[in-house]
Amino acid sequence: MTTTEILNLLPYSPPFLFADELCEISEDGVKGTYTYKPDEFFYQGHFTNFPITPGVILTETMAQIGAVCLGIYLFRNKMQGPEIPQIALTSVEINFHAPVFPGEKVTVISQKKYFRFNKLCCAVEMRNSHDIIVCSGSISGFIKSKKCTKE
């Protein structure tokens, strides 16, 4: 399964897709990037006249790249025929270390802690373009597949 195929299977679309590129993926983990565009919808209100990427969006970015992309990859052999993966987030524990401003490119690095009984638990961190840790923690979710209804 190629990284492009994984990105195409992501169940998100703009303005809520936060994964541009996957640089590495394996059974053990994934590394991917996203650049926050200066006109992302949430900068309008977070904060008033002082745009900073919200922690929930950083968390979502870590989840989409670090847990969902990795989950799709690990689940690849369990999908049969025209099925698409479905993900349910089950827990998140994140610490925030530095702010992320509009236009910044971030790299998410995720390492699998375990993937058992369809539950994926990973240690995830996000770094900015200066290689400084922006946030880090642990994200878990269940993955299953459902019949694809798209043509």
Task: Tell me the catalytic residues.
Answer: 46
111 contacts another protein (rule: CB under 8 A): no
Fill in the per-residue mask, 112 to 151: x = in contact with another protein (CB under 8 A), - = not in contact: --x-xx-x--------------------xxx---------
What order do you get walking across the sheet with 29-35 strand by strand?
A: 21-25, 29-35, 105-116, 119-127, 133-147, 83-96
Cα distances from 100 to residues 6, 96, 136, in angstroms, run: 26, 10, 14
107 contacts another protein (rule: CB under 8 A): no
Cβ-based nearer residue to another protein, 70 or 100: 70
86 contacts another protein (rule: CB under 8 A): no
90 contacts another protein (rule: CB under 8 A): yes
Cβ-based nearer residue to another protein, 79 or 100: 79
DSSP state of 69: I
Give residues in contact with another protein (CB under 8 A).
Answer: 90-91, 114, 116-117, 119, 140-142
